[in-house]
Amino acid sequence: MNKNSKQELVTEMHERLTRAKAVFLADFRGMNVGQATTLRNELRAASVEYKVFKNTLFDLAAKGTDIECLSPFLAGPTAVAISYDDPASAAKVLNKFAKDPQGKFVLKAGALSGKLLDVKQIQALADLPSREVLIAKMLGSMQAPATNFVGVLAALPGSLVRVLDAIRVQKTAN
C-alpha cells in the first residue's frame, strides 16, 4: 500500500471508530479458515464489523476517539470487532469463540463508550440477556403497577356485588 491509500484507510477507520459503541480486540493466531469463516459469519449476523488491521494504522485511526484506550493492547496479530448498535451481541459471539477449548481465539481487551474493558468484563457483558429481553423485562416492570392497580379497582365492585348478594340471601332466608 502506498502512503495515500494508507491515509485513506486511516481516515475511514477513524470515522468508523468514532461511530462505534464498542470495539473489541482479539488474537486470532492458530484459527483455521473454517473457524475464521464461521466467526465472521456469526459476527456479520450480529451486525458486527470484523477486520484485521495493521496495529500501527489502527493506532493512528484511534487517536482522538473513545477507542484510544486500546492502544497498549496492539501487539501481535490483532483482529478488531466493531459494534455500532448492540455491544452485548458482539461480546456473546466473541466470548463463544474465546471459550473454545483449543484456545486459538483469545480476547485481548475492549472499549465500551470510552471505558476500557478487560476480558472478565467482556465475559460479563456477554452474559447479559439480549437487548430485546432487557426491554421486555423493563416494560413488564413498568406495566406491573398499572396492572395491579386495575386488578384492585376491578376487585372492589366484585366485592360489593358479593356483599349485596350475601345480604339478599340473608334477607330472603328470614
**8-62 confidence digits (pLDDT tens):** 888 898 898 888 889 999 988 888 888 888 889 998 998 899 988 888 888 888 8
**How large is the average pLDDT for residues 104-116?**
87
Residue 53 pLDDT: 84
Q: Would you state the pLDDT for residue 81?
A: 92
Whole-angstrom distance, CA of residue 79 vs CA of residue 90: 13
Which CATH architecture describes the domain 3-128?
2-Layer Sandwich (3.30)
C-alpha span between 83 and 48 (Å, rounded): 5
Write out the H or E segment, with its range, that includes residue 25: strand 22-27
Is the predicted pLDDT of residue 174 greater than 80, yes or no?
no
Neighbour count for residue 104 (Cβ, 10 Å): 16
Specify the pLDDT at position 103. 63
What is the arithmetic mean of pLDDT over 80-100? 88
pLDDT given at position 24: 93
Amino acid of residue 27: D
pLDDT digits (tens, 9 = 90+) for 120-165: 988 888 888 877 888 888 888 888 888 888 888 888 888 888 888 8
**How far is Cα 147 from Cα 164, in angstroms, rounded to an integer?**
26
User: Which pLDDT does position 106 carry in this prediction?
Assistant: 86
Q: How far apart are CA 76 and CA 56, in angstroms?
A: 11
Rounded Cα distance, 62 and 28, in Å: 21
More confident residue, 156 or 73: 73
Three-state DSSP state, 76: coil
**What's the predicted TM-score (pTM) here?**
0.72
Q: Point out which residues pair with 19 in neighbouring strands.
A: none
Q: What is the mean pLDDT of residues 93-100?
A: 86
111 Rama class: left (phi>0) / alpha (psi -120 to 50) / beta? beta
pLDDT of residue 86 exceeding 90: no
- Helices 119-126 and 87-98: angle between axes, nearest 10 degrees: 110
The domain segmentation of the chain, as residue ranges, is 3-128, 129-174
